């Protein structure tokens, strides 16, 4: 576990080149649980490959929604800790028990076997969350892969998905670890990692044979 702040320079550096829970949905299709083969998967493949080659993470755009989400997360965690259970902060968790490393940035830990994952939602989605997911005991499928990967990496048993939209009630949905889904995640991640390692070897061989001229990196600021 790494006690670092989300979004900090140390946090960005710790995640460099790693396949993480928040990005796992790019390499496995949530509906079928099969390895993805599309433009988003290929883009993420080359993004992580480039990070491993350079050891650098390129600046990315920070949208208004992302900034709002950071503020909402603090409020959501405060309400959760007050009304549900005390929480513990941890910035980043890694697990390399599979001959490759997976990463996860939980919003909080709960006790010895729980996690909290917070989502800032627009009001229309928060209303839908209560009517569809809270009422039926399910969660929005777009978060399922991230949560199961987080449980896998952290080796914890459950995660409380906290859905927040200011002015509407807080929604808390508990998700148990699902070994069958996690096996599918591991299969996709293992294949992805094998392809990255093979591509890394090919890249260095091609660069060497081409006699390519090295260049110097120019630092650039994160765009906001």
CB 196 within 8 A of CB 100: no
Q: Average pLDDT, stretch 132-137? A: 96
Output the pLDDT for position 224: 44
Does residue 85 register a pLDDT over 60?
A: yes
Q: What is the side-by-side strand order in the sheet with 19-20?
A: 19-20, 102-104, 93-95
Q: Are 188 and 27 in contact (CB under 8 A)?
A: yes
Check whether 76 has a pLDDT greater than 60: yes
Q: What is the pLDDT of residues 142-164, one digit of tens each?
A: 999 999 999 999 999 999 999 99
Residue 103 tokens, joined: 């990463």
Q: What is the mean pLDDT of the segment spanning 62-86?
A: 85
Percent of the chain predicted with pLDDT > 90: 78
Given a cut of 50, whether residue 193 has pLDDT beyond it is yes
Q: What is the pLDDT of residue 175?
A: 97
Domains in the chain (CATH in brackets) are: 9-210 (3.90.320.10)
Task: Tell me the pLDDT tens digit for each residue of 30-44.
Answer: 888 999 999 999 999
**pLDDT: is 91 or 114 the higher one?**
114
- pLDDT exceeds cutoff 50 at 64: yes
pLDDT at 9: 87
Residue in the structure block whose two tokens are 């990967």: 149
The full DSSP string for the chain is: -B---TTSHHHHHHHTT-EEGGGGGGTB-TTT-SB--SHHHHHHHHHHHHHHHHS--------HHHHHHHHHHHHHHHHHHHHT---B--SBEEE-TTSS-EEE--SEEETTTEEEEEEE--HHHHHHIIIIIIHHT---GGGHHHHHHHHHHHT-SEEEEEEE-TTS--EEEEEE--HHHHHHHHHHHHHHHHHHHHHHHHHHHHHHHHTPPP------PPP-
> What value does the mean pLDDT take over residues 62-82?
83
Q: For residue 191, give Cα distances in angstroms to 27, 45, 68, 95, 178.
A: 10, 11, 36, 17, 20
């Amino acid at each position: 576990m790494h006690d670092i702040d989300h979004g900090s320079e140390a946090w960005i550096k710790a995640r460099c080149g790693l396949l993480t829970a928040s990005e796992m949905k790019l390499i496995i299709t949530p509906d079928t649980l099969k390895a993805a083969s599309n433009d988003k998967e290929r883009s993420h493949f080359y993004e992580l490959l480039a990070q491993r080659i350079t050891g650098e993470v390129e600046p990315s755009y920070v949208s208004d929604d992302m900034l709002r989400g950071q503020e909402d997360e603090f409020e959501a965690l405060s309400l959760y800790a007050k009304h549900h259970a005390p929480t513990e902060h941890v910035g980043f968790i890694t697990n390399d028990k599979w001959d490759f490393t997976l990463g996860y940035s939980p919003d909080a830990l709960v006790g010895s076997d729980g996690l909290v994952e917070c989502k800032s939602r627009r009001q229309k989605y928060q209303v839908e969350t209560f009517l569809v997911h809270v009422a039926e005991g399910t969660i929005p499928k777009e978060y399922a892969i991230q949560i199961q990967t987080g449980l896998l990496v952290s080796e914890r048993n459950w995660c409380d998905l906290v859905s927040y939209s200011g002015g509407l009630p807080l929604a808390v949905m508990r998700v148990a670890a699902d070994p069958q889904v996690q096996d599918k995640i591991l299969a996709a991640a293992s294949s992805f990692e094998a392809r990255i390692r093979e591509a890394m070897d090919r890249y260095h061989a091609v660069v060497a044979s081409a006699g390519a001229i090295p260049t110097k990196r120019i630092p650039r600021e994160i765009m906001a």
